[in-house]
Amino acid sequence: MGAPPNDDTERHESATPVEADLTCYGRQALGGETHDAADNKRTRVNGNHTQWAKGAPRSVPGLLAGLCGLAVLLSGATCQRSPSQPARPFTLVMLPDTQHYSRKYPELFLAQTQWIKENRRRENIVFVTHVGDIVNNHGDDTNQWEVADKAMSMLDSVVPWGVAIGNHDFDSVSRRPGEVATFLRHFGPQRFRGRSWFGGSSTNGLNSYQLFSGGGIDFLILHLELDVPDAAIDWASDVLRAHPRRAVIVTTHSYLNGVTGIRGYNTRVSKHGNAAEDVWHKLIRRHPQIFLVLCGHHQRTVAYHQVSINDAGAPVIEMLADYQKEHNGGDAWLRLLRFVPAERTIQVRTFSPALNSYRTDPKNQFDIPFEIPAGCRPPEPACLSPRR
């Protein structure tokens, strides 16, 4: 559908393409090069690596900026920070595989989204992401799709949301890329057009991105198709380059295994994409904006998380949840990711609206540190106008 729109145009209209692409490394544009205001260092880009030159003399634009700053101070303007107010915690809801709710327990699917609707303000819910396998029987059972549509419609005009396609959401078990008509009819990009938070989709409609904010931080979330083929990786990379100031979350159906080894990435589900390990190397680790990856699919694992280090040396939280093999196809368990910016922590809780209960074992209730990529953090406050 063409190049993705850039919601950060005003902030980067003077930056070179290289500077814009590296924004989330925490550098500010200054003339024709980049400059770290906190440490008075120059930055030069050498291939994929960054060399830092300490003590380099300021450029002419930097000297002019300093003189302008002095003029501001002499004019009586102040750059005093207003009394510090901790950013309010906010919540992202993760819906694990709902396939058996659509198949047999529709009241549980409805209980999940009804609870989200009723508790959006109390929990400060800013986004809902579905990890895929919305239905169980592919395109064969229209009733399952109607149940899923009704449940997810509960969120319309309430909170931004998105969904990744799972292996059960294809029209047949062969999972060929073109066999997706039913998914696209119910959850394709046309459903979301006109929503201010909907960013766009790939040409095939199976990859999308959404925009939302919380705690003064601007986020972008990618919902990527099963096994994330190379074309989807290229599309996602273009989206990230067009939105360099946004911290990024990725939701894709099959990514972690959590059973077989150190990293726990599973092999690809279909014959038409990348194994999850390849997705890590081709996409996740290369983009410093990405700090969180969410997935489902592996019902034998149920719950698992780990932290990996990307090419920028920053942590990437990777999290799996899938309760479909448990009682009633999962008893409506969902994940609440409560971001507490003041503590740089995500409080992960697993809650069932149907049971009105939390799971408190260490795999389902834990706190995990998080770091928003440097260039994606809220800007410093601007100078105040002179007092009269």
The tens place of each residue's pLDDT in the chain, 388 residues long, gives 444 555 443 333 223 233 333 445 433 332 233 333 333 332 222 333 323 333 333 344 444 444 444 343 344 433 333 445 679 999 999 999 898 898 889 999 999 999 999 999 999 999 999 998 998 777 678 999 999 999 999 999 999 999 999 988 897 665 566 689 999 999 999 999 999 999 999 999 999 999 999 999 999 999 999 989 999 999 999 999 999 999 999 999 889 886 654 444 555 555 678 988 899 999 999 999 999 999 997 766 779 999 999 999 999 999 999 997 887 877 999 999 999 999 999 999 999 999 999 999 999 999 999 988 877 877 655 544 444 4
Its domain, for residue 45, covers 9-74
User: Which string of DSSP letters, residue by residue, matches 135-178?
Assistant: -SSTTS-HHHHHHHHHHHHTTTTTS-EEEPPPGGGSSSTT--TT
Residue 209 vs residues 29, 97, 128, 200, 368: alpha-carbon distances, Å:
26, 20, 13, 6, 25
Cα–Cα distance between 184 and 177 in angstroms, integer? 12
pLDDT value of residue 316: 95
Q: Which alpha helices (H) appear in 202-327, and where do they start and end?
A: 230-242, 276-279
Cβ atoms 350, 95 nearer than 8 A: no
Are 255 and 112 in the same domain? yes
In a domain, 382, yes or no: no
Q: Are residues 177 and 310 in the same domain?
A: yes
pLDDT at res. 50: 28
Question: In this structure, what DSSP letter does residue 87 have?
Answer: P
Predicted local distance difference test score (pLDDT) of residue 4: 56
Domain count, the chain: 2
Verify that 188 and 316 share a domain, yes or no.
yes
SS3 state at 101 = helix
- Is residue 384 included in any domain, yes or no? no
d(CA 370, CA 276): 22
- Same domain, yes or no, for 347 and 319? yes
Residue type, 180: V
Residue 203 lies in a domain: yes
Q: Where among 24, 39, 74 does a domain terminate?
A: 74
Positive or negative torsion for Cα 158, 343, 130, 358: negative
Q: Looking at the structure, tell me whether residues 124 and 58 fall in a common domain.
A: no
- Looking at the fold, whether 145 and 31 belong to one and the same domain comes out as no
Asked if 221 and 190 sit in the same domain, the reply is: yes
Look-up: residue for tokens 């925490």? 26
What 3-state class would DSSP assign to 134?
Answer: coil
Both 188 and 267 in one domain: the answer is: yes
